[in-house]
Copies of this chain bind each other. A is one copy, B any other.
């Protein structure tokens, strides 16, 4: 859906080979649009076939390529079109929140460790973003590009800040819970299977019909 446009952007910023793109995706654009090298190679092929990019002329004969690509005018036009077109936000999908919801009915045993792990991952990411900010956006730099790139980085920083705070809060909440077991899973055989309904009683984000 958007991978071709991510690639066009990256190539406009700097013509690159598949591998270079892969590296740059790992470092930068990939922070908000991840892609594997296989996806990138496949997409480069399509973009070339569609006449949006072309291989830079190089003098190696064939195999073991290191082919570099650059964007053609048609590619830039397509990127411009796509960037300014109205697009609806994709509906959200978050596994962790879903698991928490499941834990509310099935018990919180076991999930806490993973919450803690996620907290650490987000802290690490946050640190990395802050490092980038310190390095690439010292006060004073404020060309339009700088401002936009900084704005994007700020989104990353703020999102990671949100997650670290929220996860920390969640863990506190867990500590205050009766014990490892959040749900009253009054495991009464087949009755237990449907107990969530009874104990729901208007609680949660599921309003009673």
Inter-chain CA distance A71–B105, complex, in Å, is 12
* Residues B187 and A105 in contact, CB atoms below 8 Å apart: no
Residue A14 CB within 8 A of the other chain = yes
A103's partner among B83, B162, B177 (CB-CB below 8 A) is: B83
Closest-CB distance, A161 to chain B (whole angstroms): 9
Q: A72–B14 Cα gap in the complex (Å)?
A: 55
Could you tell me if A76 and B149 are in contact, using CB atoms closer than 8 angstroms? no
Q: Does A173 contact B (CB under 8 A)?
A: yes
Known pairs A13-B105, A110-B84, A153-B194; A90 contacts B95 (CB<8 A): yes
Is the CB–CB distance between A102 and B207 below 8 Å?
A: no
Q: How far is the CA of A105 from the CA of B158 in the complex (A)?
A: 23
